[in-house]
């Protein structure tokens, strides 16, 4: 579904990714792990075309989108849920979700039918302003907005970071269903190794902007975690 070949990326003159190659299987969750500052967020931004400059090849469904601007990558079927969620606080829940529809290839500008099933609270509070939601509810809103584009690939950047425990489990269940029930391809940046092991089929461990370990999720052993994530 998504193929990255020799991907390099820069912020100004500072190189953040160093030749990352990664095959992301269709309809599965691929986990990205590593210490803070190793390039995990930059990898997702590079896939979306959001860094200052990049080299290498990004293919989506066999199509080379390396030169495509961000909005065309979104239209091609990639949705991005950034760290910090990025919802618009003065927009209502409904308006935030519908905003995601501007990347919908079929031109739909509506709340997806799956939102009430996945996020009952959002369905019951469509006219509530996004800024009044808790952090966990805003994360649910950011995911719902991404789904409004009806994407093929969803990039999730630490969706459980700073979320109250009562909602973390709900978000984890939604992520699992995105792949299992709806066939979406997911790249999940996550520090919770336990959840990565439960959710992902493959993983890549980053260090200094490069993949230093990877493959089947069974390879994400305690020894690998200790070697690359223990401070």
Quickly state the pLDDT bin for 218 (edges 50, 70, 90).
very high
Count of structural domains, the chain: 1
* More confident of the two residues 137 and 230: 137
Determine the 3-state secondary structure of 212 from DSSP: strand
pLDDT digits (tens, 9 = 90+) for 183-199: 999 999 999 999 999 99
Let me know if 216 is exposed, middle or buried by CB neighbors in 10 A (0-12, 13-18, 19+): exposed
Rounded CA-CA distance 198/8 in Å is 30
Rounded CA-CA distance 195/160 in Å is 10
Residue 155, both tokens: 């990039």
pLDDT digits (tens, 9 = 90+) for 2-44: 999 999 999 988 899 999 999 999 999 999 999 999 999 999 9
Please give the pLDDT value at position 161.
87
pLDDT digits (tens, 9 = 90+) for 64-82: 999 999 999 999 999 999 9
> CA Rg, the chain, in Å?
17
Please give the pLDDT value at position 50.
95
Rounded CA-CA distance 68/104 in Å is 17
Rounded CA-CA distance 153/147 in Å is 10
* More confident of the two residues 85 and 42: 42
**pLDDT tops 80 at residue 231:** no
The pTM score is: 0.93
Please answer whether residues 47 and 2 qualify as being in contact, where contact means their C-beta atoms are separated by less than 8 angstroms.
yes
Could you count the other beta carbons within 10 Å of the beta carbon of residue 168? 17
Determine the 3-state secondary structure of 151 from DSSP: coil
CATH of residue 53: 3.40.50.300
Structural domain for 119, as ranges = 2-229
Please answer whether residues 32 and 187 qualify as being in contact, where contact means their C-beta atoms are separated by less than 8 angstroms.
yes
Please answer whether residues 209 and 176 qualify as being in contact, where contact means their C-beta atoms are separated by less than 8 angstroms.
no
Section 108-128 average pLDDT: 93
pLDDT digits (tens, 9 = 90+) for 129-162: 999 999 999 999 999 999 999 999 999 999 988 8
């Amino acid at each position: 579904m998504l193929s990255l070949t020799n991907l390099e990326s820069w912020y100004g003159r500072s190189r953040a990714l160093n030749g990352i190659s990664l095959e992301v299987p269709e309809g599965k969750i691929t986990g990205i792990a590593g210490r803070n500052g190793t390039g995990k967020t930059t990898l997702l931004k590079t896939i979306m075309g959001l860094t200052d400059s990049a080299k290498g090849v990004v293919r989506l469904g066999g199509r080379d989108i390396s030169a495509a601007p961000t909005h065309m990558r979104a239209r091609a079927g990639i949705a991005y849920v950034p760290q910090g969620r990025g919802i618009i606080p003065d927009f209502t829940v409904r308006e935030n979700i519908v905003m995601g529809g501007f990347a919908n290839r079929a031109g739909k500008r509506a709340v997806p039918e799956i939102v009430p099933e996945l996020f009952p609270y959002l369905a019951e509070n469509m006219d509530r302003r996004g800024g009044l939601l808790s952090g966990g509810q805003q994360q649910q809103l950011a995911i719902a907005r991404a789904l409004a584009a009806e994407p093929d690939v969803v990039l999730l950047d630490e969706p459980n970071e700073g979320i109250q425990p009562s909602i973390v489990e709900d978000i984890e269940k939604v992520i699992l269903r995105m792949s299992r029930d709806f066939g979406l391809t997911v790249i999940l940046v996550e520090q919770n190794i336990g959840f990565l092991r439960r959710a992902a089929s493959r993983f890549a461990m980053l260090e200094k902007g490069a993949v230093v370990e990877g493959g089947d999720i069974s390879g994400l052993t305690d020894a690998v975690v200790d070697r690359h994530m223990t401070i």
